[in-house]
Amino acid sequence: ASPLLPESDAAAMKQGIECTKDAIDAALREDGRFELLKLLGKGSFGCVCQARCLESQEIVAIKLLPRSEVRPG
């Protein structure tokens, strides 16, 4: 089991970000390249988690932002 925090914090929820295990797992599964290891931190603009790259097995940090905060380009 991943040692993730079970609840989203109020600041993150105001921005439409869910920093729950299920939400982070879903985002990483959608991408398909990473395995969630643990939540490193969360704040008003997103979550940072530790993950393993499935191709290289490298351990990485990933910042998850709501789609509304991501600008194309």
Higher pLDDT, 72 or 37: 37
Count how many Cα atoms sit within 13 Å of the Cα of residue 17 in the half-sphere of its side chain. Answer: 23
Q: Label residue 58 by pLDDT band (50, 70, 90).
A: very high
- The per-residue pLDDT for 43 is 78
With a pLDDT cut of 70, the percent of the chain lying above it is: 68
Determine the Cα–Cα distance for residues 69 and 28; give it in Å rounded to an integer. 17
- pTM for the full model? 0.64
What are the tokens at 53? Answer: 């790259």
